[in-house]
Structure 1
Amino acid sequence: MTIPTSVPDYSRIYEFIHRYDPDFVQRTLHAADMALEGKQILSGTRGQWLYVGNPPHWHDNKVNNNGYVWMLNRMNHWLILAEAYLLTGERKYIDQVLVELLDWIESCPPPPLPNNLKPASPGEGPIEPLSANLEPVRKQYTSVNPWRQLEVGERMGNVWPAVLRIMDGIPGMLDAARPKILQSIRDHGLVLREVCPLFWPEANHNYYLTEMWGLFSIGLTFPELAEAKEWGEFARQELERCMFSQFSANGGQLEGCPSYHNYTSVHMGKVGLLARKHGIAMSDAFVERFRGAMEYCVQTCRPTGQIVPWGDSNADHYAAMTTALGSIYLGDPRPAKQLISLMGVDTFRKNIIPLLLDYPEILDLVDIPDTGPTSVGETAPEFSRTFWDREMDQAAMRSDWSKEAFSVFFACRSPIYNGHSHADPAAFDFVALGRPLVIDPGRYNYWWLEERRKFKSAAWHNTLTVNGHEPFEFISSFEYGPQKPGRIEYVIDQEDWLRASAVHHNYEPAVHRRDLVLFPGRCLLVLDEVSGLSAQDTVQLNWHLDTIRSAWDPEQQTVVTVGNEVNVAIRTAGRTVTGAAGEASISDKADHLRPSTRYTMLDGGGGGGVRRYATVIVPFRGELQSEQLEGLKVEDDEGQSVCRFRLNNVSYEVFFNLGETSRTLG
C-alpha cells in the first residue's frame, strides 16, 4: 500500500498550538483517554460521554438515534487519537486506532454489490442501472448500518487516509495489516463508484459531493489499486458536476443552510488542494464558483464571526476552517482576513488547528499581527454591505464590516429546497453592537421530537403567522407538506439606509409582504403588510430574543430586554397588539440548549382586507429613555401607506411601497 510519507513540520505546529490554544492539548488528550475507555460523545448522547464499547459496538444503536450509528462509523475519534499520539508520542493512542480499524473490518463486512449495474466510463455520466428497481439497493445503502453511503465517503475522504499516513510513518506498524486494509479501501471504492451514482444522477446532493470526495481521495492516495486512475478521473468529473449542481451562481450551497455550505465548501477546498498536489487542474469555472462560495461564507457570518444558524446550522466559528482552506487554495487571503477581523485572530487560530496536521501552510495565513479592522465604521472594501443570492432567496445587509456592525440576515425561499430548511419564510436574524439580539434559534438535533418541531416552527422564528398556523404542514423531521411561492424581491444599498423586501403566499388567500430597512448604527425597521385577510383572522408577530429577562409595556406596545450589556427595544404600531412572553431555547450547536425568550405580539382581528404593521428594533447600551423612540405610527399619505417615527431626535418617514422611496428627515 502506497500511503504518502510526506510529513509536515510537526514542531512548528506544536509551537503554534501551545502558543495560541494551550488548552487544546488538554482537551484532545482528555477526549483521547475517554476513547481509550470506549467512551464518546455522539449524536443523541446529548453532549454526554457514553460507553460505546471497546472496541466500539459498530452496529448497536444505544440511544435509539440513527445519527448515533452513523457518526460512530465515521470514526472521527480516530483523528483525536492520532492527534494525541502526535502530541505525546505515546503509542497507546495510535495502537488503539489500528485495533479498532482491524476490528471494524472484521465486524463490518461490505454488503454484496448489486449485480445488475452497467459501468460507465469517464465522460459518460453516472452509471445507468439495468433494472429500474433500485429500492433494495437504496435500502441497503441508506439504512442505519456502518455501510450507509455517506459514511463510506466520509471515512475515505476525511479519516482513513489521515490516520494511515501517520501509521505508515511508524516502522513495521502496518506490515501485517496492509493487505486487509487495502482490500477494505477497495471495497469502499467500489461502493462509491458503482452504487452512489445511482442515487444522485443530477449530482445535486451534499451526500454525493462527500461520496465523490471520498472516491477522489482513494483514487489519488492509493495508486496501487487497479481502479485508482479511473476512479480519480470519474470522481473529478463528478465533483465538477457537484459544484454546478449544488452551488448557486452567487456561490451559496443550495440547501440554504450556512453550516452545510461550510461543510461542503471545506470538502471542495480539500478537493482542489489534493488535485493541485497531484498536478491535476480543476476547471476555471470550478475555481470561480468556489470563489463565490468563499464570499457566501463570509456574508453569512454575523459581526461576531459566528455563522448565522439558518436552517439546520450551528452558530459556531466553523467558517474559519472554510476560509482558511479557501484562501490557501485560491491564493487569496481576503476571505480569511475578513473573518479574522470579525471573530478576532485568537478565535480564528483556535478554530483552524484541526486542519494543521494536513495543511500546515495555513500557519502562514495566520502569521499576522493580532489586530484588524474592528472599530465602528471601519469597512473592508473587498466585500459589499449587501449580498443577495437570488437562487436561494437569501439576503444579508450590514452597516459596515466591524464587530459592532448592525447586521441582518433575511430569507424567503418557498418552496424550500429540502428538509434541512425551517418553516420560516420572511424571517431574519439581527445582530448589533457585538451581540446577537433578535435571532434564529438554530437546529438542536434531528430527532422528530417536540424540540425539533419547535426549532423548525415559524412561531420560534422572527416572522409573521396568521391564525397561529404554520405556513405549511409538518410531516416529519425532514419533510413538509405542499408550499406556495415565496421570494426576495429586491435588495438596495443607499448611503444612509439598506432595504430588502420579501413576499410569500403560504397563507393564501392572505399574502404576506415584509420589508426590512436597516438604518446603520440606529435601528432596524420591519414593515409588514398582510392582504387578503378576513375580519376573523388573527395575526401574530413573533420575536425570538437572545435573553432570559425582558418586560412588556402595553401602553407603548414595546418589549425591552433588560440586564444585558447590550439590550434591545421592539415597538410595534399600525394595529393594537397585545404582547405575551414565552419560554424558549437557543441551540448554538447540536444537542445543546440554553434558555431564551419569545414574544408574540397578537392582533386579535376585527378588520378584513389589508393590515399593516411597523416595528422598530432599537439596540442600546445602558437604559433606553422613553423620549428616545417616540411617535411611531402607520398612516395613509395621499393613498400611500407610510411609517413615521422619531429616534434620538431624528424624524424618519418610510413608505411601505418602495415606489415612493424611503426618506429620512432630520
Structure 2
Amino acid sequence: MGAGEIAHRVGDAIRMRLQARGVGLARPAPARQTYGQPWVPQLPRPAQPQAYVAAAEQILAGRFDVFSLRAAELGWPPRWNRDPRTGIEAPLVNGKMLNYRDEQLVGDIKYLWEPNRHLELVTLAQAWHLTGEARYAEGVRTLLDSWLQQCPYPQGPNWTSSLELAIRLMNWSMAWHLLGGAASPLFYGSEGAAFRERWLESVYRHCHFIAGYFSRHSSANNHLFGELAGLHIAALTWPCWNDSAAWLAQTSAELETQALLQNGKDGVNREQAVYYQHEVADMMLLCYLVGRANGLRRSAAYMERLEQLLEFLAALMDVGGQLPAIGDADDALLVRWNQQPHWNVYRSLLATGAVLFGRPDFKAKAGPFDDKSLWLLGEDGARRYARMASVRQPPCQAYREGGYYILGCDFDQPSEVRLVADAGPLGYLAIAAHGHADALALTLSVAGQPMLIDPGTYAYHTQKKWRDYFRGTQAHNTLQVDGLDQSESGGNFLWLRKATARCEAWHSDARCDSLTASHDGYLRLADPLLHRRRIEFLKDSLSIVIEDIIECEASHEIALSWHFDPACRVVLENGVVRVSTGPATLTLSMENGAAVPRLVCGAEQPPLGWSAPCFDTKVATHTVVWSEKIQGNTSRRTRIELVLNQSKQQTQTFIEGERLEN
C-alpha cells in the first residue's frame, strides 16, 4: 500500500471504533414526502405472468434459491443472520468490527449475504404488479419488517460490506416502484405510514453507511462502482433528506469517472473477468435508466463506454450464445428481473443495448426480446425492438488494450470457429482481485459448441483448495512451470507478484489468423524463464498450431494442459487426443517432444479435470496434460485439426433450436 491508502485505512479503522461506541452514527431527520420517478413511464406486463407468480409462491412458502441451494427452506420469514449453507448464525456485534472472513464465526458469508440482497422483494412486487393480489405486497412488508427487526443498524453481518447495502438499496428501489411508490396500498392508514417511515429510516442509514465506507485505492474496483450505483439510485428514488443532494452530486460525478477508469477504450472491463463485465454494464445501464427518468443525463463518454462494453461481450459470444468463463464469476444479479427458463444474461444485455444504441448487430446476437429487457425498457422498447432489423457483422478481433484476440472463421455462421486468446493483464489495480493466472490461455468453440474451455470459478471465500485450483494456471489452457502459478497468490482476492502478458505480433487475413504473445510470470524463478506462445489458425484446413517457446538455462518441469467441455467425448489413443461433440470432432497432438499425455477426469488430490458451470457447482470433465522435464531453451508444438460433422443446414437447425430455448 502507498501512503495515501495507509492513511485512508487508518481513518476507516478509527471511524469503525468510534461508531462501535455510538459516535458518528446516522441520525435520520424526518423524511420529506418527495420521491423520484420509476425507470420507465409505465411499468410493463409480460405476456406470461405465471413464472413470476410461481416464483413468488415459492418465496411465500419460505423457499429461496441461493446459489447451489435450490428451493432451500429458509423459513418465513428467514433468519437473516444465518448462513443457509452451514446453519451458522453470525453474532449481532458492530458490523464493521465483525470478521466476516471467519468461517467458524459466520459460515460461508457469500451464502449469508445473498438472501439479504433482497432480490426476492422484487419478485414479490412483480407478482403483485401482475396480479393485484395483496398477499404478495404483504409478503414484501413481512420480509422487510423482519429484516429491520433482526438486523438492527449497524449490527451483524449485513452491516459490514457497503456493496451489499448498495445492492439491497437497488432492489428496494425497484420493489418500491413496482409496488406503486409512495401511493402503494402498503402505506395506507396509520400502520402503513409507520411501515413507510421504518423503511425510509433504514434507507437513510444505508445511504449514510455507504457514503462513509466507499471502497477506495486498491479496492476501487466493481465494489466501488456498485456502491456508487446503489447510493445514486437511492438518492434519485428517495430525495427525502438534506444529504440526498450531496449524495446525488457525488455519485453522479464519480460514476462518470469510474466508468472510464474501470473500462478500457476497447470495451474490456479491466477486472479481466467476463461475468464482472456483465455486472458493471448492468450497473451502468440501471444508473442511466433511473437517471434519465428523473431528468439526469449521462455524458456521451459514459454512454459510449457502455456501448463498447456490450460490443466486446458480443464479440466473445459464439454462434450458440455462449461466452468463455474468463476470470471470476459468482452468478450474482443486481436485480432478478427475469423468471424465464434458460435465460442468458449476455443476450439480455445485448437486446437492451440494441434498443438503446440502435444496433441491429446486437439484435442478431441477442435473439428474442427477453423479459428483463421488457421490464427495463417497457412496451415501447419491445415495439422498437420488433421494428429493428437483425444484421450480422464480423466482430472486431483484436482488443489490444484489454489483451484479448479472437481467431477463427465464419463468425456467427453455422460453421463458425471461434478461438479466444488471452494476452492481457492479470486484473485491475494492485490486488487484481478477480483475475485468474491464465496468461496466454485460449478457449475454442466450434459450430456453437464449446470444446476447449476455461473451467470457471466454483469457490470464493471458502474451500481454499478449490479456490486456488480454479484460479490457478493448471486450470487453464496454458503452460505451467515447476508446479507454480504464473502469478503469486496472497489470498482469495489478492495477487502479489503478477504475470504481465504482452502481444508481440498479431495478423489476420483471409487465409489465417496468428498471434504471438509472451508473459514474464516465471522470470521470478531462480532460473528466470520466459514463456512465449504462437497461435496460428489456418482457415482453409481448419487447423490450429500452437507453439510454446520456453526460454531458460536450467532444468524445469513443464505441464501443458487442455481442458474440454463436459459435453465432449474425449478419448486418448496412441498419444493423440480425439474429441467429439454433436457438431464437430477434434484431434489434438503434440508434434515434438518426448512427453506422454495423460487423461484426467475428476481428480481430487490434487484437483484436476473439473468444470464449474455455475457458482459452487463443479462437474468432472476431461483434461489432457503433457508433462515433462526440460533443459534450457525448448519449443513444443501442438496441432489441433477440426472437422465439422454436420451440414450447414443441420448445424443451423441445431443453433436456432438453442437460441429459441435460451
Shorter-chain TM-score range: 0.7 to 0.9
Q: Helix, strand or coil: the match of 1:14?
A: coil
1:294-443 matches, within 5 Å, as 294-313=310-329, 317-329=344-356, 331-334=357-360, 336-340=362-366, 345-346=367-368, 349=369, 352-360=370-378, 361-367=380-386, 380=393, 383-384=395-396, 386-390=397-401, 392-404=402-414, 405-417=416-428, 418-443=432-457
The 1:30–1:150 alpha-carbon spacing in structure 2 relative to 1, beyond 3 Å, is same
Query: 1:325-365 deviations in whole A, cap 9, x for unaligned?
Result: 33444x3224522423xxxx24xx3xx31342342143135
203 and 473 in structure 1: CA distance in 2 versus 1, 3 angstrom threshold: closer
TM norm structure 2: 0.78
2:589 is the counterpart of 1:574: no
| Structure 2 residue corresponding to 1:525, chosen from 534, 541, 545 | 545
Whether contact under 8 Å (1:541, 1:601) holds in the other structure is yes
Distance in 1 (alpha carbons) for counterparts of 2:451 and 2:219 = 38
Distance 2:521 2:240 in 1: 56
Equivalent position to 2:60, from 36, 43, 49: 36
TM-score scaled by structure 1? 0.77
Which residue identity is paired with 2:351? A
For residue 441 of structure 1, report the CA deviation from its aligned partner: 0.9
Measured in 1, the distance between the counterparts of 2:572 and 2:321 equals 31
Q: Which has the higher helix share?
A: 2
Aligned position for 2:635: 612
CA distance in 1, matches of 2:324, 2:581: 24
Residue 313 (structure 1) shift: 3.2
8 Å Cα contact 2:453-2:563 kept in structure 1: yes
Q: d(CA) in 2 for partners of 1:195 and 1:255? A: 21
**Which letter does structure 2 place at the counterpart of 1:319?**
Y
Deviation at 1:622, TM superposition (A): 4.4
Counterpart of 1:456 in structure 2: which amino acid? R
Matched ranges for 1:32-181 at <5 A: 32-43=56-67, 46-62=68-84, 63=86, 64-111=107-154, 144-157=157-170, 159-168=171-180, 172-175=185-188, 176=193, 177-181=195-199
Tell me, in whole angstroms, the C-alpha distance in 2 between the residues paired with 1:202 and 1:544: 32
- The Cα of 1:570 is off from its aligned counterpart by 0.7
1-structure distance, mates of 2:591, 2:46: 58
Structure 1: distance between partners of 2:571 and 2:272:
34
Question: Compared with structure 1, are the counterparts of its residues 544 and 247 closer, same or farther at alpha carbon in structure 2 (3 Å cutoff)?
Answer: same
Q: 1:459 aligns with which of 439, 460, 474?
A: 474
Give, in whole Å, the separation in 1 of the partners of 2:534 and 2:443: 14
Q: Aligned pair 1:598/2:623, yes or no? A: yes
Structure 2 CA distance for aligned equivalents of residues 202 and 457 of structure 1 = 21
SS of 1:561's partner is strand
Say what the alpha-carbon RMSD is for the aligned residues. 2.7
Which segments of 5 or more consecutive residues in structure 2 lack a partner in the other structure? 1-32, 87-106, 332-342, 602-608, 647-662
The Cα shift of 1:533 comes to 4.6
Shift of 1:452: 2.5
CA distance in 2, matches of 1:314, 1:308: 14
Alpha-carbon distance between aligned partners in 2 of 1:458 and 1:70, rounded to the nearest angstrom:
29
Larger CA deviation: 164-173 vs 519-528: 164-173
Larger RCO, structure (CA 8 Å, separation 6 or more): 2
Q: 3-state SS of the aligned residue for 2:633?
A: strand
Of 595-604 and 219-228, the range deviating more from structure 2: 219-228
Q: Which amino acid aligns with 2:249?
A: E
SS of residue paired to 1:538 = strand
- On the 8 A contact 2:158/2:164 being kept in 1, the answer is no
Residues 148-203 of structure 1 show CA distances to partners (whole Å, capped at 9, x for unaligned) of 2001111222x11111113236653213222222222111221232332xx32589
- Give the drift of 1:530: 0.9
Secondary structure of 2:411's partner?
Answer: coil
Provide, for residues 610-660 of structure 1, a one-character-per-residue CA deviation record: whole Å limited to 9, x for no partner.
Answer: 21122122222449xxxxxxxxxxxxxxxxxxxxxxxxxxxxxxxxxxxxx
Residues of 1 paired with 2:589 and 2:599: CA distance?
14
Q: Is the 8 A contact 1:582 1:599 kept in 2?
A: yes
Name the CA distance, whole Å, in 1 between partners of 2:361 and 2:328: 23
Instruction: Determine if contact 2:158/2:165 at 8 Å carries over to the other structure.
Output: no
Name the SS for the 1:101 alignment partner: helix
Contact 2:438 2:472 in 1 (8 A): yes
Q: 1:23-43: per-residue Cα shift (whole Å, max 9, x none)? A: xx5543333222112221224
3-state SS of the aligned residue for 1:13? Answer: coil
1:5 to 1:235, Cα distance in 2 relative to 1, 3 A: closer
The answer to whether the 8 Å contact 1:203/1:242 transfers is no
Q: Distance in 1 between matches of 2:353 and 2:570?
A: 42
Amino acid of the residue matched to residue 557 of structure 2? T
Separation (CA, whole Å) in 1 of partners of 2:624 and 2:559: 10
Match of 1:287 among 298, 303, 318: 303
Residue 221, structure 1, aligned to residue 243, structure 2: no
1:574 shift after superposition? 2.3
Q: How many residues align?
A: 556
Aligned-residue identity in percent:
22
Q: Which moved more, 1:46-55 or 1:228-237?
A: 46-55
* Contact 1:501 1:515 (8 Å CA) reproduced: yes
Q: Structure 1: 5+ residue runs without aligned partners?
A: 19-24, 112-139, 374-378, 624-666
1:579 alignment partner AA = P
The question of whether the paired residues in 1 share the 8 Å contact of 2:531 and 2:550 is answered with: yes
Q: Is the 8 A contact 2:489 2:496 kept in 1?
A: yes
Contact kept? 2:442, 2:478, Cα under 8 Å: yes
TM-superposed deviation, 1:444: 1.6
Give 3-state SS (helix, strand or coil) of 2:296's partner: coil
Shift of 1:568: 1.5
The 2-side partners of 1:396 and 1:622 are apart by 23
Compute the displacement of 1:403 (Å).
Answer: 4.2
The aligned counterpart of 2:45 is 13
8 Å Cα contact 2:611/2:621 also seen in 1: yes
SS in 2 for 1:48: strand
**Does the 8 Å CA contact 2:405/2:420 hold for their aligned counterparts?**
yes
Deviation at 1:464, TM superposition (A): 1.0
The aligned amino acid for 2:570 is S
Change in 2 beyond 3 A, CA 1:565/1:171:
closer
CA distance in 2, matches of 1:281, 1:539: 54
Which amino acid in the other structure matches residue 534 of structure 2? Answer: D
SS for the counterpart of 1:241 is helix
Provide closer, same or farther for how the CA distance between residues 448 and 479 of structure 1 changes in structure 2, counting only shifts above 3 A.
Answer: farther
Instruction: Indicate if the aligned counterparts of 1:572 and 1:616 stay in contact, CA closer than 8 A.
Output: yes
